[in-house]
Each structure stands twice: as structure tokens, then as C-alpha cells.
């Protein structure tokens, strides 16, 4: 369930190639039917999983705001990008594999790279955090002995734990929280945010860390990938597919056209805040199996 992008770096050596790129862009941007169809299918699959309109509306709002954050920032910088493509998946745990936008143009500079990368996660949190808060208010505190064997136990990120204590207070020994579907949508939103903020490859975190550090970010990429592999081996094998995905598509980041002009202090500060969001929203063991 990732919001990474694919980049295609065109060769601008001739006017004919410019013309073909412009035509291709018009063709792809002028036919949004596939986007609408996938969007409607995803509404259906997310509703079917839990039979909850609140869950479906929340998870769609979180994904849509995330991708539209990227899209609108692309428009601001004149970067050609598609509307979001939602990925329906009629199976648990989420009923979707997320949404993506596709950019087919080199990012002009590190400032644009940073702004496009950071816009998605920050926009998604606008719907994620209220979903958690209001969903927790509608959740039940139940005895663990009353829970059936088919109940899935979720891991908690630091941010989710803090919000839970803020809304519900301390949970008595022998009791647990049976999440309302709206709260689960918020949990999923944090899960998606953390995945996208992994500082590797062309994930949002990869864009952000490259924009801040430039080519020196390769050391962060390697360290993050090794840490992720360590967590997979010793704590949660479920990350294996994600690791293979990152390695397959490349964990390094291609440079923007202007790879020399550094970021200003304000963006570096926002980058630090975003990294803090990653640390507090990441759940090393998201699902616990009995």
C-alpha cells in the first residue's frame, strides 16, 4: 500500500521528441476514465471488507488527500503528472493497495523534489489523525477473554499510542480496545504514512532525504534498508515483500535537473518534523499473529 511514483527521464535532444512527449501527455491527462473506474472500484472493495461506510470514506479520504497533495504540488511546479490511480483489492486487511500518481518528467530542482515529496504525507495526516481520534471515541474497551480467536491484534506506533491515551486514558489490565472501523482506517493511514516516509528509493521519504542531503543521502538509503532488513529478519517477516519491492525498483534516488542548489532553512526544518512523524508513526510489528 504505497504512494511511490515512477519516473521516466526523457531525452530532450530534439524538437520531435518534445512534440511526442506533449502529445503523450495530452492523451494521458485527457482520459481520466480509468482513474474514475479504479476510484469507484476501490470504494466498493473498501466497503465490502468491513461493511462500514465510515471506514470506506475515511480510507478513501486519507489516500486521496495524500495523492492530491503530490498532484497539486506537481501542478505548482509545472511537472506533468497523472491524477491518482487507486488500486482496489477485495481482500483484508484494507480492501485496497493504496493509490499512486505517475510523473513522467524530471524534477527541476531539489526544492521542487522536497515540496512534492512532503506534500503527500502531510496532507494525508489531515484526515488520518481525526479518523483515529473520533474512531477511538466509538471503539469498545472489552475483556481480552471475550475476544474471539479470529480477531486480528494490531501493533501500535508511538503516535497511535499517544492518541489512544489522550482519548481513552489507561486501559485496565486484562482489557483491550476493539477498534471501530473508523479508528482502523486511521491506523491504516499511519501505516501508509510510515511506509511512504521510509527514506529509500522513490518513496516520499526517499524524495525528502535526497532533497535535503543530495548525493550524500546514499548513506541514509543504505542504513535504512539494512535496518529494515534487520527488523524483517528478527521481528516481522511480513516486511519481506516490501523489501524485495524496494530492491527491485531501486533503493537509490535519481537526481533532479538542478542537483546543486541546497534547500533553505525552512524546508530543512519541515524535513526534520517529517522525519519525526516517520519515527512516531512507524510500527515495526504491525500485525501480531496468534
With beta carbons less than 8 A apart as the criterion, state whether 203 and 197 touch.
yes
Stretches where the chain sits below pLDDT 50 are: 1-29
Q: How far apart are CA 127 and CA 9, in angstroms?
A: 33
Cα 163 to chain centroid, rounded? 20
Write down the pLDDT at residue 18: 44
Task: Check whether the bond before 242 is cis (ω within 30° of 0).
Answer: no
Write down the pLDDT at residue 290: 55
SS3 222: helix
Other Cβ atoms closer than 10 A to 261: 11
Q: Where are the domains of the chain?
A: 15-288
Write down the pLDDT at residue 124: 97
Write down the pLDDT at residue 254: 86
Write down the pLDDT at residue 20: 44
Write down the pLDDT at residue 246: 86
Cα–Cα distance list, 134 to 179, 191, 203 (Å):
11, 18, 29
Write down the pLDDT at residue 25: 46
Cα–Cα distance list, 288 to 117, 150, 237, 240 (Å):
31, 12, 11, 16
Write down the pLDDT at residue 9: 32
Cβ burial of 22 (10 Å; 0-12, 13-18, 19+) is exposed
**What is the tens place of the pLDDT at every residue in 171-186?**
888 888 999 999 999 9
Q: How far apart are CA 44 and CA 9, in angstroms?
A: 35
**What is the tens place of the pLDDT at every residue in 23-57?**
444 444 457 889 999 999 999 999 998 899 999 99
Name 111's Cβ contacts closer than 8 Å, sequence gap at least 6: 211, 261, 263, 264, 267
With beta carbons less than 8 A apart as the criterion, state whether 209 and 278 touch.
no
Amino acid at each position: 500500500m504505497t504512494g511511490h511514483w515512477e519516473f521516466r527521464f526523457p531525452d530532450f535532444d530534439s524538437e520531435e521528441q518534445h512534440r511526442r512527449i506533449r502529445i503523450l501527455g495530452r492523451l494521458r491527462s485527457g482520459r481520466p476514465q480509468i482513474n474514475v473506474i479504479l476510484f469507484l472500484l476501490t470504494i466498493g472493495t473498501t466497503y465490502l471488507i468491513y461493511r462500514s461506510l465510515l471506514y470506506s470514506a475515511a480510507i478513501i479520504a486519507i489516500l486521496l488527500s495524500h495523492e492530491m497533495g503530490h498532484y497539486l504540488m506537481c501542478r505548482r511546479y509545472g511537472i506533468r503528472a497523472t491524477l491518482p490511480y487507486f488500486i482496489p483489492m477485495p481482500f483484508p486487511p484494507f480492501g485496497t493497495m493504496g493509490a499512486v500518481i505517475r510523473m513522467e518528467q524530471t524534477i527541476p530542482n531539489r526544492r521542487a523534489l522536497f515540496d512534492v515529496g512532503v506534500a503527500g504525507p502531510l496532507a494525508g495526516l489531515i484526515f488520518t489523525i481525526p479518523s483515529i481520534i473520533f474512531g477511538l471515541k466509538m471503539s469498545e474497551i472489552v475483556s481480552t477473554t471475550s475476544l474471539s480467536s479470529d480477531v486480528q491484534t494490531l501493533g501500535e506506533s508511538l503516535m497511535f499510542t499517544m492518541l489512544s491515551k489522550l482519548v481513552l486514558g489507561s486501559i485496565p489490565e486484562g482489557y483491550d480496545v476493539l477498534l471501530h472501523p473508523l479508528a482502523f482506517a486511521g491506523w491504516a493511514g499511519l501505516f501508509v504514512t510510515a511506509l511512504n516516509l521510509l527514506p529509500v528509493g522513490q518513496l516520499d521519504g526517499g524524495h525528502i532525504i535526497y532533497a535535503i542531503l543530495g548525493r550524500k543521502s546514499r548513506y541514509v538509503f543504505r542504513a535504512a534498508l539494512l535496518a529494515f532488513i534487520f527488523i524483517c529478519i528478527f521481528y516481522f517477516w511480513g516486511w519481506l515483500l516490501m523489501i524485495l519491492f524496494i530492491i527491485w525498483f531501486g533503493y537509490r534516488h535519481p537526481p533532479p535537473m538542478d542537483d546543486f542548489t541546497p534547500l533553505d532553512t525552512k524546508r530543512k526544518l519541515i524535513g526534520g518534523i517529517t522525519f519525526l512523524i516517520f519515527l512516531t508513526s512507524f510500527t515495526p510489528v504491525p500485525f501480531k499473529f496468534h
